[in-house]
Chains A and B, each alone.
Chain A
Amino acid sequence: MSIERIEKRQGATLVAPALLWTLVFFVLPFLAMALMSLSHLEGRSVVSGPDLRNYAKIFTEPSLLKGIAVSLEITALVTVISVALAWPLAWIIATRIPVRWRRLALLLAVLPFWTSYVVRSYSWALVLGEKGVVMNALVGLGMLSEPVQIMATRSATVIGFVHFFVMLLTLTIYSNLIQLSPNYARAAEDLGASRWQVIRLVILPLTLPGVVTGAFLTFVLCIGDYITPQILGGNNELTLPQLIMLQLGRRGDYPMASALSLVLMLIVTLAYLACARWLKMERV
């Protein structure tokens, strides 16, 4: 055997366990799920297809169709608001705060990361509830005559999500900003640009690739999340993950849950392709 072949065989031996794990516990379940989505439930038993009944149902039944729309709307709204709030924060920390306080400011900006995800949603339920701190303060200050219902509405879901993703995006945008050479801003200023012009026309465009990557991450994590809409949004309007869990719980409808999951994956894949294409265009 040549040395090269020994090398290759040993390399393959090292990769094999991880590859095998991924094949058995990721690819195989996925194929099983894809197959399951092509069967359907009759009464309580699964009738294997292959047929497209579940998919036909998803695109004709209003409640399921609405779930997809609700998920897309919430995710789009959350992504836009989070970027809009996180960018100025990252910029202030990167340029306005004295260097020795920067680490502390960044640490404070992501402090709630360190409590658990379930607890974070719960604490927003605490804050936004009818008797919660916010309503209490607003009524106490005379800004509202009586509490407004926020909990169990879309607003609560959006607030909970934005809270999480502002932290995430602040980190990604900040790491982008501190890598920029200060010469860009100096050059623009020398050429007579005002401060706002520097930010809008120079710094902002330079951070766009980082922003798009962060926004994609936000999109993927937001649209696939079950906890936040379930705890904060309640059952008035269901998102796609809530619908998937509902199929499992109520009737044990695995075929439908599988079909909805594949739709969710399709949406994420489309978003990925859109971002990848945009980033490539940007680089050329």
Chain B
Amino acid sequence: MRTLSWVYLGAIFTFILLPVVVLVIFSFQDGRLPVPPFKGATLKWYAKILADRDLMEALVNSLMVAVLSSLVAVTLGFLAASGLARTVLPGSALMRGLLIAPMTVSYLIIGLGLLQMFNQVGIRPSLLATGIGHVVINLPLCFAIVYAAIGEHQKSALQAARDLGAREWQVLWHIAAPMLAPSLAAAFFLSFTFSWDEFIIAFLLTRFDVTLPVEIWSMLRSGLSPATNAVGSLVFLVSVAVVVTLELTLFRKGSK
């Protein structure tokens, strides 16, 4: 069984890692096509994409949409979770259900619905529209994460602050937010990742200013090119670097 395990492990890791390895290797291809044979290493494709103004604009757009939409989603989710954890409101279960509902609907359908509504009220496709869509998909996640983190201990601390005369915003800002900081950070980080990588909503709801996945999509239409490999590799390497840094700093500190 031991040999079988190792053989299986080797085979499945090859399958999982093959496309990424091929992607990165052929981003250095000194030729026009990112397929074998490998003709030697060059950095010219990286130079090309870093000088590509549309691509860099799309990258900045993506960052902006991801940061702002995640901030809104985390804030709304945090407020709603504190409100619902505080007292039993009439229809609490229904409200929770409604807040979670978008999680079960395909992004395509959420995007299509927003597109039609925006068309009817005359809002043009834009980064703002995309950001609104990203808040819709991430709000359920943020709400669920923060809501799950508010236990009995947290509830009594908040109640104590109120009994001692703190105003509601003081309770939220000085007690709830610091106490829930790890889950707020996790919610923000996850939202950011989903927004950063989201394609279909951004594709439907942007026109002139686009996000990075949409820009990459339009690069694909011109066929295989080492430039696309270079963009993909760059996104990959930056993400891995961010994850490793978080792992080494934030989470290690947290576990001590």
* A226 in the interface (beta carbon within 8 A): yes
Q: Is the CB of A257 within 8 A of B76?
A: no
Q: Which residues of A contact B64 (CB under 8 A)?
A: none
* B181 in the interface (beta carbon within 8 A): no
Q: Contact partner of A14 among B2, B83, B236, CB < 8 A?
A: B83
Q: Is the CB of A17 within 8 A of B200?
A: no
Q: Is the CB of B16 within 8 A of A111?
A: yes
How far, in angstroms, from A94 to B137 measured CA to CA in the complex? 32
Q: Which residues of B contact A269 (CB under 8 A)?
A: 104
* B143 in the interface (beta carbon within 8 A): yes
In this complex, which of A25, A92, A96 has the most chain B Cβ atoms within 10 angstroms of its Cβ? Answer: A25
Q: Is the CB of A133 within 8 A of B18?
A: yes
How far, in angstroms, from A7 to B85 measured CA to CA in the complex? 11
* A108 in the interface (beta carbon within 8 A): yes
**Nearest CB to that of B223 among chain A residues?**
A125
How far, in angstroms, from A245 to B232 measured CA to CA in the complex? 25
How far, in angstroms, from A254 to B33 measured CA to CA in the complex? 39
Q: Is the CB of A29 within 8 A of B113?
A: yes
Q: Is the CB of B89 within 8 A of A8?
A: yes
**Main SS at interface, chain B:** helix
Known A-B contacts A123-B19, A123-B20, A227-B200; the reply to A116 vs B213 at CB < 8 A is yes
- Quick one: which of B115-146 are within 8 Å of A by CB? 116-117, 120, 132-133, 135-136, 139, 143
Q: Is the CB of B132 within 8 A of A25?
A: yes
Name the distance in Å between A252's Cβ and chain B's nearest Cβ.
10
Q: Is the CB of B232 within 8 A of A122?
A: yes
Contact-size category for B = 35 or more
How far, in angstroms, from A108 to B83 measured CA to CA in the complex? 40
Known A-B contacts A21-B139, A32-B120, A127-B19; the reply to A224 vs B216 at CB < 8 A is no
Name the distance in Å between A70's Cβ and chain B's nearest Cβ.
16
Q: Is the CB of B35 within 8 A of A109?
A: no
**Main SS at interface, chain A:** helix
Name the distance in Å between A212's Cβ and chain B's nearest Cβ.
16
Q: Contact partner of A92 among B9, B197, B200, CB < 8 A?
A: B9
Known A-B contacts A22-B102, A26-B101; the reply to A115 vs B20 at CB < 8 A is yes
Q: Contact partner of B228 among A122, A195, A220, CB < 8 A?
A: A122
- Quick one: which of B70-102 are within 8 Å of A by CB? 76-77, 79-80, 82-84, 86-87, 89, 95, 98-99, 101-102
Q: Which residues of B contact A7 (CB under 8 A)?
A: 86-87
* A278 in the interface (beta carbon within 8 A): no
Additional A-B contact list (20), CB under 8 Å, known A14-B79, A15-B95, A117-B199: A7-B86, A11-B83, A11-B86, A14-B80, A15-B83, A21-B76, A25-B114, A26-B136, A29-B116, A29-B117, A30-B113, A33-B112, A85-B12, A109-B13, A123-B22, A129-B224, A131-B36, A133-B18, A163-B16, A245-B108
A-B contact pairs, 8 of them (CB 8 A): A14-B84, A18-B80, A21-B135, A21-B139, A22-B101, A108-B13, A116-B235, A136-B35
Contact surface of A with B, Cβ cutoff 8 Å = 4, 7-8, 10-19, 21-23, 25-30, 32-33, 36, 85, 88-89, 92, 96, 108-109, 111-112, 114-120, 122-127, 129, 131-133, 136, 163, 166-167, 195, 220, 223-227, 231, 241, 244-245, 248, 254, 257-258, 261, 264-265, 268-269, 272
